[in-house]
Structure 1
Amino acid sequence: MSDHESKFTVWGFVKGFAKLIIGTLLLLQGLIGLVVLLLFVGVLVSVTNGIAGSEEDKVSVSIPDEAALVLDPNGILVEMTEEVNPLEAIQREAYGISEPTQISVHDLVKVIRAAKDDKRIKGIVLDLGAFGASMSSASKLHYINDELIKFKQSGKKVIAVGDYYSQDQYLLASTADEIYMNDYGNLIVYGYGAYGTYVKSFLEKLKITSHVFRVGTFKSAIEPFIRDDMSPAAKEANIAYLDVLWREYANRVNSARGLAPGTIENYANNLGSIMSSVDGNFAKAALETGLVDGLLSRAEMNEKLVELFGESKDGKSYKKVGFTRYLMAQHGPSDGAAPNVAVVTAAGAIVDGEAPVGRAVGGDTLAATLKKAREDDKVKAIVLRIDSPGGSAFASDIIRDEIIALKAAGKPVVASMGSLAASGGYWIAADADEIWASPTTITGSIGIFGYFNTFENTAAEIGVFVDGVGTTTLAPMLATGIGPLPESASEIIQLSIENGYDRFLTIVGNGRGLEKTYVDEVGQGRVWIGERAKDLRLVDNLGSYDDAIVAAAKLAKLDKYDVVDLRERRTPFEIILGNLSAKAATSLGSGNPQQSQGMVTKILKAVEDQAAFFEEFNDPNAAYARCITCE
């Protein structure tokens, strides 16, 4: 060893200490990996057993006589729930991270219908404090609302209890025979609105160049990037459908509560003056207006429910069965003797390629499911259930190809529009034999757009430039991003967008039997509400999901049939391993459990959501048929 190597130096000490730290971290990483692997194996076994059991047998649930079914869904109302990765769920629970789950509208309807005919169930208790819904979910809420009314018509009671009520929670609660709220609670009704954040001036300050390609007067998806306010055309389109949503909400609440016409509208518009008359007490404002029947503490609410349904065995509560346990008891296969009407659901933004069901509509994923229905001899008709703002035009067309193939195979296709079936969501519906929508379905938005930014001016501000040579007039596109977008390329993209819009018009015209010029008149990217869409011949009938199933069976001339939910089924391995790359990225950023506190979490979650939003824009032609303002 040389004298130089044998001498102690500060730098040598630092390097040695760093090696020790790194070695320790690598050891810890290995141990953590081993623990995760053991957890993985245990979860995999339990999940596999759980899935096998749920497919073969009903779960036995003990329900006392004359009990209450407690509808206490904890999560956000959706058309179709995402597959839950049990490994992620364990990790969130271990770190105390609480994320809202998803609640399928069809699961809620299923348990209400079962309870209506279940002699053990005396009534329903609505406990909606952990339940939420987006503005665009109006038709889902109305669907549940209608089932609660049918439940009441069977002679059974519905009681609503809660510390407070959001606007969406109150729509369901308004169907109850009696509504009770905490004496220090609140009930605020906002109505409906469409507001966005506009960043044109912000982008200009950063010297970011926005490139916009669109067709359609009302295609407002990219307005936030090119304006500092909502355009008059967008305001006109938005207020038209928002007025219908609000009218339907108000009519349902006033009717369910037996209130004079205009009562809930007055409550929303003049809450300040109503509050003044009751010394600023939210709870009394709701009581005096007739929106609730009584103000009770939690203990008093429990006593009221014990009076109605009897005391539980432990003497601490009333006789009841929870929503989740009762739902589990409803699962069970049919005898398989009858032909099938297959329901294929397109829920979420439409993206190119594959995507997990419930999270997005992968063009290849949904096309494969439709192909499966086409090749299954037992499937005689298909209901394409759509709850989507659209997205990739290319992926939409891939899905449409399979719908045409189904019809060519002699299998009728009925499109059933959920709360939202706009833009690409309408693209995939256009060729169906029949289109059904609810009066409050948000649809239309027939238009195409393309948008991206380049940063040549931003880069120049800090002394970064792009230069080079190429062999064609399009070669400079290789530098686009930090470099500018060549004018020749801009012209090509705009021509492609115009061609895409023309294709959209042709698809709708041919599918609906309408003149292309007429489709253009009602298109232009404008959003329509379901009842108006029927007048414009964009949909055939107004009705529910169940009506669409009956229509499909009728087209297939089926007197007896089973309804099957046809979707991609992933194995436990695929569920757990399917998103490892996303989890790895998350662990380096917004998903770090150590960052899960307060406002920081909210900011990081917003960034994560925004990143996920942009990941949905993956059309190979950069052409999108998507209604962003509808979402």
Structure 2
Amino acid sequence: MKQFFLTMLGVFAGLVAFFIVLPIAALLFFAAAASASKPATPAHTVLELDLREGLTDQQPTNPFAAFGGSGLSVIHIVDTLAQAEKDASVKVLLVRAPEGGMTPAAADEVRQAIHRFRASGKTVIAHSQGFMPVGAVVSSYMVAASADQLWLQNTANFQATGLASDSLFLGRAFQKYGVQAEFEQRYEYKNAVNEYTQSDYTGPHREAMVAWMTSIYDSALANTARDRKTTPEALKAVIEAGPYSAEQALSLKLVDKIGQVEEAEAAAKAKAGKDAKIVAFGDYASMQGARNGSGKSAIAIVGGEGAIMTGRGQSASPFGSGSDIRSDDTAKAIYDAIEDKAVKAIVFRVSSPGGSPEASEQILAAVRAAKAAGKPVVVSMGAYAASGGYWISSEADWIVAQPSTLTGSIGVFGGKFVLADALGRFGLDMRGLSVGGDYADAFSPVQGFDQAQRAAFAASMDRVYEEFVVRVSTGRKLPVERVREIAKGRVWTGAQAKELGLVDELGGLNEAVIKARQLANIPTSESVRFKRFPTPQSPWEALASAFGASGQAAEAMVSVGQVMGDPAAQAVLNRVEADRMRSRGAVVLADQPAF
């Protein structure tokens, strides 16, 4: 019967591939063919960058991932604006600012790219339809304020009055419904566990959250004040006294002009010159292609975004924009860069809240191999490089982070949920059987840890923690005792981490490339090529990966349900991924604020 259902699922997946996926692949093929014959960029171009749909950190290697999101990434924006700086046809950049918060580190990097574009002598105009009090809205305002002109729609409100983050605590609900959360954490600042066991912030949890939020807020204020030609103190006093109407925001010099986006577009076109045309950012990027550079020497750009897990298969879904860092894939990408004779240095772009210690160690071993082969490794941290994300970064030759990158979280947690009592209240009786040693059913949801199991599990947590500390001590050349002082699972911003010696430099991918050139002794007068690892998949490789084995039929069905917007399918997929992570026992995973 089981085989029958697997076969039917395989047939279903095949039908989906034929009727849905193949037409999509065909569209991609014809779109790629058509792009070869696209006209050149108009002589007077206004490049429109729309940030309202959200950003990933990196471009996915899966060609179908664009169907699951906006298709824009931070690295994509950095690379494309670098090309636009030198393109004489691009006269003006028009930025559509998001109404809610941006991920703070992403905002830092986009702002820096905008500044480099302006430094080339070109104009930037930003338009906002309001700044709502959602997440890190101060970061969105910071990006918009980096323009030469900031427009606000007449009916919009200016509500960027601070920074907010919410946590959902399940402790009382679990107690009420009989769910027993049995976890170990190393140590008191490893706060992911608290949401399962507490009903409010603990002292260390609150302390750490307020500290990194204040660091992000102060950084955004300082950057915005610099761009708006005021002081951080004056800007803080003004915005915290809000919210404001558009007219009030204008009178307080928080914005430069009031008007509809069509008026801002007209102003941008007038600035660009006669017969100016607006070109969407994605279309321009497609015309330009990847920024590959030239020269005999190459710098490898190795990407990794998402939770760190063992195995292969980068994308969490064949058709979604979500991704994870698979240790086999990422380690292989680094080894491929090592074996490429043209590659003189490696920039490892990390944007991850952490994950499996085993997967993290596999990737770190590849970093060590690159260094042993004489190829310097520079880590460029994105939105997060915390916990396992810091583990894989810790032994690089140089670490670059944005002031608002969330990093550190040197610690570990693990455990299980005991569900038998909760299910019993609904007439569901869960029972377990095991053979072998006492630890065989240690992670059974039927009963809690017994004393011996708890001791053994706690010992494993201690081992992982000490291994983490040793790697940080080795990589950062810090005494072990000093690492223990600044670890304890605490999350730091990049600015805080630099003061602690966990980060070498503040900046983004651009600064990491510059440092990689220096470490590889490539003269500044010499051009370099960029080689990206892992290489992007073709549509057919992505299809083969998604539908190549009948045993994956169930996952394929769930993934297709995700494409069609089925919330039940999405819930199943999320549960599967969560179970995979929990089944590892120990997890080096940091909190992820909901920005």
Specify the alignment match of 1:286 in structure 2.
249
Q: Would the alpha carbon gap of residues 485 and 169 (structure 1) be closer, same or farther in structure 2, given more than 3 Å must change?
A: same
Which one of the candidate residues 253, 266, 274 is aligned to 2:237?
Answer: 266
Q: 1:569 aligns with which of 515, 536, 557?
A: 536
Query: Alignment partner of 1:75: what SS?
Result: coil
For 1:237 and 1:177, the matched residues in 2 are separated by 36
Q: What secondary structure is seen at the aligned counterpart in 2 of 1:78?
A: coil
Alpha-carbon distance between aligned partners in 1 of 2:539 and 2:438, rounded to the nearest angstrom: 51
1:238 aligns with 2:219: no
User: 1:491: how far off?
Assistant: 1.7
Q: Would you say the 8 A contact 1:78–1:105 is kept in 2?
A: yes
Q: Which residue of 2 aligns with 1:228?
A: 199
1:115 and 2:96 equivalent?
A: no
- Tell me if 1:156 matches 2:122: yes
Q: Are the equivalent residues in 2 in contact too, given 1:395–1:619 (CA < 8 A)?
A: no
TM-score (norm 2): 0.85
SS at match of 1:271: coil
Post-superposition Cα deviations, 1:322-361, rounded to whole Å, max 9, x if no partner, equal 2112112222685865121111112111112123256010
Following superposition, the deviation at residue 619 of structure 1 comes to: 5.8
Selected match of 1:396 from 345, 355, 360: 360
Deviation at 1:453, TM superposition (A): 0.3
What secondary structure is seen at the aligned counterpart in 1 of 2:348? strand
Match of 1:126 in 2: 95
Q: Of 310, 315, 319, which aligns to 2:277?
A: 319
Residues 349 and 388, structure 1, Cα contact 8 Å, conserved in 2: yes
1:299–1:402 distance in 2 versus 1, CA, 3 Å: closer
Structure 2 residue identity aligned to 1:185: A
Note the residue ranges of structure 1 that are not aligned, 5 or more in a row: 1-28, 90-98, 276-281, 313-317, 596-600
Which amino acid in structure 2 is aligned with residue 71 of structure 1?
L
Q: Amino acid of the residue matched to residue 529 of structure 1?
A: T
Distance in 1 of aligned mates of 2:145 and 2:167: 30
Shift of 1:550: 2.1
**Cross-structure match for 2:18:** 37
Which residue number in structure 1 is paired with residue 7 of structure 2? Answer: none
1:80 corresponding residue in structure 2: 58
Change (3 A) 1:546 1:53: farther
1:624 paired to 2:593: no
Correspondence for 2:107 among 125, 141, 146: 141
Once the two structures are TM-superposed, the CA of residue 566 in structure 1 deviates from its matched residue by 1.5
Distance change (3 Å), C-alpha of 1:524 and 1:383: same
For 2:20 and 2:292, the matched residues in 1 are separated by 35
Is 2:429 the counterpart of 1:464?
Answer: yes
1:160 is paired with a residue of what secondary structure? strand
Q: Deviations over 1:594-629 (max 9, x none)?
A: x6xxxxx6xx69846853661561563x11111024
User: Is 1:520 matched up with 2:520?
Assistant: no
Q: Is the 8 A contact 2:151 2:256 kept in 1?
A: yes
- The alignment status of 1:251 with 2:215, answered yes or no, reads no
Q: Which residue of 1 aligns with 2:408?
A: 444
Pair 1:171-2:152 in alignment: no
Aligned to 2:384: 420
Q: Which amino acid aligns with 1:143?
A: E
Q: CA deviation at 1:112?
A: 2.4
The DSSP-based 3-state class of the residue aligned with 1:222 is helix
Secondary structure class of the residue paired with 2:160:
coil
> 1:38 Cα shift?
5.4
Please tell me the residue identity of whatever aligns with 2:77. L
User: Within 2, Cα distance between the matches of 1:270 and 1:121?
Assistant: 39
Shift, 1:514, TM fit: 1.8
- C-alpha change, 1:125 and 1:45, in structure 2 (3 Å) is closer
Match of 2:301 among 330, 340, 343: 343
Q: Distance in 2 between matches of 1:123 and 1:591?
A: 36
List aligned pairs for 1:479-518, cutoff 5 A: 480-518=444-482
State which of 202, 221, 237 in structure 1 corresponds to 2:173: 202
CA distance in 1: counterparts of 2:391 and 2:398, whole angstroms = 14
How much does 1:572 deviate? 1.9
Tell me how large the CA RMSD over aligned residues is. 3.2
Whether the 8 Å contact between 2:377 and 2:516 is mirrored in structure 1 is yes
CA distance in 2, matches of 1:396, 1:33: 35
Larger Rg: 1
Within 1, Cα distance between the matches of 2:324 and 2:340?
25
Q: CA deviation at 1:176?
A: 2.0
Gaps of 5+ in 2: 1-9, 316-321, 548-553
* TM-score, normalisation: structure 1: 0.81
The number of equivalent residue pairs is: 565
Q: Taking structure 1 as reference, are residues 138 and 124 closer, same or farther at Cα in structure 2, changes over 3 Å only?
A: same
Q: Does the C-alpha gap of structure 1 residues 399 and 36 become closer, same or farther in structure 2, counting only changes over 3 Å?
A: closer
Please say if residues 389 and 422 of structure 1, whose CA atoms lie closer than 8 Å, have aligned partners that are also in contact.
yes
What corresponds to 1:352 in structure 2?
310
- Letter of the aligned partner of 2:588 in structure 1? A
Taking a change above 3 Å as real, the CA distance of residues 305 and 605 of structure 1, as seen in their structure-2 partners, is farther
Pick from 274, 279, 289: which aligns with 1:331?
289
Residue of structure 2 in register with 1:5 after alignment: none
Q: 1:341 to 1:33 in 2, by over 3 A?
A: closer
Partner of 1:13: none
Equivalent position of 2:557 in the other structure: 584
Relative to 1, partners in 2 of residues 1:474 and 1:544: Cα closer, same or farther, differing over 3 Å? closer
Distance 1:391 1:464 in 2: 32
